[in-house]
Amino acid sequence: MNVGILNSGGDAPGLNAVIEGAVAAATARGWTVYGFYDGFEGLLSTPEDERWKILTTENCHNIRSTGGTILGTTNKGHFTVKSGVDGRVEIAKEVLDQSKATVERLGLSALIVVGGDGSQTIGLELRHIGLPIVGVPKTIDNDLGATDYTFGFWTAVGVVSQNLDRLRTTADSHQRIMVVEVMGRHAGWIALYGGLAGGADLILIPEIEFTMEDVVKKIELLKALGQREIIVVVSEGARIGGQLITLNEETKGEVRLGGIAAFLSTKLQTLTDIETRYCVLGHTQRGGSPIPFDRVLGVRCGAKAIELIEKGEFGHTVALSRTDIVSMPIEEAVKKLHLVGEDSQLVDAAKEIGVSFGDTHSAYGGPF
């Protein structure tokens, strides 16, 4: 049997682990794996311009420890999709036809799509034209409702936490406010877990509305208590007065987020008269080697995808449910974004230990 695999959308640490897991499980069954280059674009192969390679246990040996993806990926190209709850798919008919022709020409019995909600929605479109698709959820943002955690997320959280440790010492030396911008799009998970792990004083996320007044109150309170450095972690998708800060650029029809740390930094320095600097962690959160959890999750997801193919469970995606890898319809998986609940235990716990979310309730919260 021949099966294909592709990565799509932004990369995430653990993609190579998924590939290695799938290749090992497929090879054990005597199957051949075609790895498509650069996301769905690889499906636009022609005999004159093949955009795939055969993946073997030899050329995938121990790639689970490496970052990025050996196949390449893209969030641009011919397969345009707008991600989100009301995702809109716009794939030209000739692109769909050519994808189908490639799958038929190579005699693929299944195609594994490793991607976030946008990519899974593209996978569904391919499913609708009859292609045997199996999904593997991927994103550092951890915003997929289908799965408890996506691989890459905990690596990103680790990067945030390690960097907060570094930024704290320099902020302490200079008695500064340090505003640290992290990824996550419209979900605050990276900021919340990274901020909690790294001891942030304030965590500003898209799901909890904050006011400058309450942010300043918290900073003044900490200063009055003699704290030298103030660490503010802010999600790229957090809003100021309901307004997103963007880079005025688009990727696949979505606005590129970013810039809120610079904006906040200037504001805070003016409002508090405390020297303020900012740091945008950006793609450091996506690059580099995956941590053990993401490697293990990745290889498990890859191997489970092969099991779904064997059972003929097409149109399904693998998902982590507590400690098990389960399967569910892709439709279900992309229906709802997984966002931080304002009244979640995690938010409550953070408030208990003195973290402010810049909302009125937590400005004075904590052990003081």
Residues near ligand F6P (CB under 6 A): 10, 75, 139-141, 183-185, 236, 251, 257, 286
Question: Which among 98, 83, 192, 91 has a CA at the least distance from the CA of 139?
Answer: 83
CB of 225 to ligand F6P, least distance (A): 34
Q: CA–CA separation, 158 vs 45, rounded Å?
A: 38
Active-site choice (141, 214, 294, 359): 141
Question: Closest residue to ligand F6P, Cβ-based?
Answer: 183
CB of 150 to ligand F6P, least distance (A): 10
Are 181 and 163 within 8 A, CB to CB? Answer: no
Side chain identity, residue 271 = L
Q: Residue 34 or residue 189: which is nearer to ligand F6P going by CB?
A: 189
Are 351 and 357 within 8 A, CB to CB? Answer: yes
Q: What helix, strand, coil percent values describe the chain, rounded to 5?
A: 40, 25, 35
Are 179 and 278 within 8 A, CB to CB? Answer: yes
Are 185 and 218 within 8 A, CB to CB? Answer: no
In sequence order, what are the beta bridge partners of 244?
Answer: 239
Look up 11 and say whether it is catalytic: no
CB of 199 to ligand F6P, least distance (A): 22
Q: How far is CA 319 from the centre of its chain?
A: 15
- Tokens 């795939």: give the residue: 52
* Residues in Cβ contact with 170 at an 8 Å cutoff, skipping those fewer than 6 apart: 176, 178
By the 10 Å C-beta count (0-12 exposed, 13-18 middle, 19+ buried), 79 is classed as buried
- Tokens 């229906």: give the residue: 335
Q: CA–CA separation, 319 vs 44, rounded Å?
A: 28
Could you tell me the two tokens for 263? 């904006």
CB of 26 to ligand F6P, least distance (A): 27
Active site residues: 141
